[in-house]
């Protein structure tokens, strides 16, 4: 049985007291049954939109969704959408019904919903209403449309993406007919607005079932990102790899930290490989220069989906730098931290492990040992307060100005001191740094410097 928040129970009771049926419905029922705290609680009721508004006239409400039958009631600052039982009309645009009809039967409202796991209602006293075996599907980990999948996906193409997003989020599979129809109609997802597609893709990428979603439903992913399709079955004949590029990608995405940027980075990190493939005299595959091509692919694909600039730039930076190949030694790690910035370097470390997780399992011990050493060097640098940025120096431009330096000399001397500190030729102490200023200044003012 579901635990209802007090405010939700009181909203339902208020409607019941006026003789209207009312239930929690959809995502909140599904998530509660899965033991996940719902994002929000939506209610469905036999009351008409006008009757809902009347019932809550002493509360703060919004009727912005009135034509769709929705009144939003605020309780303790939290919005609750209460929607009149609805039957959807024709869907000529494959996205939204041309018109909606308010009805008196809960069964009709549940029948218009996308998947059986989303078509359950629940009342705090009388319990679950499950007309389409949503409970069984929830128990068995199955995404199944309510009614004919072909018809339901044709009505609203977003449902195809929702199907694989739910499969990924909960580690579920698509019921066979639902799967076949979703794949057959995969191209129609591009009817959906780019922003909405990207929301679904990000939610899908951060799901626990992402590895099998990427491999089992790749046709749907490739209809959103056709530029990723050359990765499928693309062989990698090298001792580092045991899988084709797409299977590797699916594993690497799944092994990455569970945030949108890391997961998007791993989705695209090797997308340039099929375009940069060469084979040496021994028959071994090489993919030199692929990160730069992956960056171009990611940029085009994410810009098409109207990805925000911050996310885009961060993903492109991480894709371009994903191949860390430095020796796992003190100086090289510090130099790399200085080149990339601490923040980028530290974000790359778990991505490197994710990349390794999709490589040849026989190589895992040595690869993870390398990642461990890099990480240990990184943590040591951090704990020692290592200088990895010019601003970390114990002197600044004002100190040099006070010492009589002028104009471009100041920047040049600071950079020279930074290089000396990075290579551990001098200590990052003001007195030590100042003692070298004159000599550096003379060197850089030599003609020909």
Instruction: Quote the CA–CA distance of 388 and 12 in Å, as a whole number.
Output: 59
Of the pair 39, 383, the CB lying nearest ligand CTP is at 39
CB of 70 to ligand CTP, least distance (A): 11
- Residue from 11, 55, 158, 440 touching ligand CTP (CB under 6 A): that is 158
Q: Which stretch binds ligand CTP (CB under 6 A): 55-63, 126-134, 153-161, 434-442?
A: 153-161
Of the pair 204, 302, the CB lying nearest ligand CTP is at 204
Number of residues that bind ligand CTP (CB under 6 A): 12
Of the pair 224, 231, the CB lying nearest ligand CTP is at 224
Of the pair 147, 350, the CB lying nearest ligand CTP is at 147
Instruction: Quote the CA–CA distance of 175 and 170 in Å, as a whole number.
Output: 14
CB-based contact 114:159 (threshold 8 Å): yes
Of the pair 86, 269, the CB lying nearest ligand CTP is at 86
Considering only residues 198 to 237 of the shown chain, the ones binding ligand CTP according to CB under 6 A are none
CB of 52 to ligand CTP, least distance (A): 17
CB of 112 to ligand CTP, least distance (A): 6
Say whether 247 sits in a helix, a strand or coil: helix
Helices and strands, number each (H, E), in the chain: 22, 13
Instruction: Quote the CA–CA distance of 359 and 284 in Å, as a whole number.
Output: 15
Under rule CB under 6 A, residue 97 binds ligand CTP: no
Give the DSSP letter string of 30-46: HHHHTT---S--EEEES
- Residue from 113, 273, 290, 353 touching ligand CTP (CB under 6 A): that is 113
Considering only residues 308 to 367 of the shown chain, the ones binding ligand CTP according to CB under 6 A are none
Q: Where are the alpha helices (DSSP H) in 241-386?
A: 245-255, 260-268, 290-304, 309-320, 330-340, 342-357, 364-383
CB-based contact 432:399 (threshold 8 Å): no
Instruction: Quote the CA–CA distance of 237 and 259 in Å, as a whole number.
Output: 31
Of the pair 192, 381, the CB lying nearest ligand CTP is at 192
Say whether 130 sits in a helix, a strand or coil: coil
| Bridge partners of residue 42, in order along the sequence | 25, 81
- Residue from 70, 118, 377, 388 touching ligand CTP (CB under 6 A): that is 118
CB of 182 to ligand CTP, least distance (A): 13
CB-based contact 237:283 (threshold 8 Å): yes
CB of 161 to ligand CTP, least distance (A): 9
Considering only residues 25 to 44 of the shown chain, the ones binding ligand CTP according to CB under 6 A are 26-27, 39, 42
CB-based contact 227:271 (threshold 8 Å): yes
- Residue from 109, 156, 200, 227 touching ligand CTP (CB under 6 A): that is 156
Point out which residues bind ligand CTP (CB under 6 A): 26-27, 39, 42, 113-114, 118-119, 156, 158-159, 162
């Amino acid at each position: 049985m579901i635990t209802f928040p007090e405010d939700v129970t009181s909203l339902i009771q208020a409607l019941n007291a006026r003789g209207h049926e009312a239930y929690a419905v959809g995502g909140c029922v599904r998530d509660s049954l899965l033991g996940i705290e719902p994002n929000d609680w939506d209610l469905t009721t036999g009351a008409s939109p006008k009757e809902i508004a009347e019932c809550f006239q002493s509360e703060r409400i919004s009727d912005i969704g009135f034509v769709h039958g929705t009144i939003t009631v605020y309780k303790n600052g939290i919005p609750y959408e209460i929607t009149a039982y609805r039957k959807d009309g024709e869907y000529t645009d494959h996205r939204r019904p041309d018109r909606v009809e308010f009805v008196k039967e809960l069964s009709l409202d549940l029948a218009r919903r996308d998947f059986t796991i989303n078509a359950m209602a629940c009342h705090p006293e009388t319990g679950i209403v499950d007309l389409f075996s949503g409970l069984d599907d929830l128990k068995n980990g199955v995404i199944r449309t309510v009614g004919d999948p072909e018809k339901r996906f044709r009505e609203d193409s977003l449902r195809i993406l929702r199907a694989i997003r739910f499969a990924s989020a909960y580690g579920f599979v698509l019921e066979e007919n639902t799967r076949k129809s979703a794949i057959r109609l995969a191209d129609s997802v591009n009817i959906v607005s780019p922003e909405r597609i990207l929301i679904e893709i990000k939610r899908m990428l951060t799901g626990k079932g992402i590895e099998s979603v990427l491999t089992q439903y790749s046709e749907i992913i490739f209809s959103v990102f056709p530029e990723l399709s050359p990765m499928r079955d693309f062989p990698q004949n090298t001792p580092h790899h045991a899988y084709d590029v797409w299977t590797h990608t699916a594993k690497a995405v799944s092994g990455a930290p569970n945030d949108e940027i890391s997961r998007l980075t791993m989705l695209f990190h090797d997308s340039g490989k099929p375009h940069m493939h060469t084979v040496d005299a021994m028959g071994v595959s090489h993919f030199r220069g692929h990160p730069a091509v992956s960056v171009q692919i990611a940029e085009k694909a994410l810009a098409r989906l109207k990805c925000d600039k911050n996310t885009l730039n961060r993903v492109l930076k991480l894709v371009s730098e994903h191949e860390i190949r430095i020796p796992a030694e003190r100086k090289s790690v510090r130099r790399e931290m200085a080149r990339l910035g601490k923040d980028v370097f530290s974000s790359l470390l778990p991505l490197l492990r994710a990349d390794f997780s999709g490589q040849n399992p026989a190589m895992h011990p040595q690869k993870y040992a390398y990642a461990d050493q890099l990480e240990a060097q990184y943590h040591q640098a951090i704990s020692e307060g290592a200088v990895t940025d010019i601003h970390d120096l114990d002197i600044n431009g004002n100190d040099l100005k006070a010492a009589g330096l002028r104009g471009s000399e100041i920047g040049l001397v600071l950079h020279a001191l930074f290089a000396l500190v990075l290579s551990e030729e001098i200590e990052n102490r003001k007195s030590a740094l100042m003692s070298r200023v004159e000599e550096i200044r003379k060197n850089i003012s030599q003609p020909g410097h």
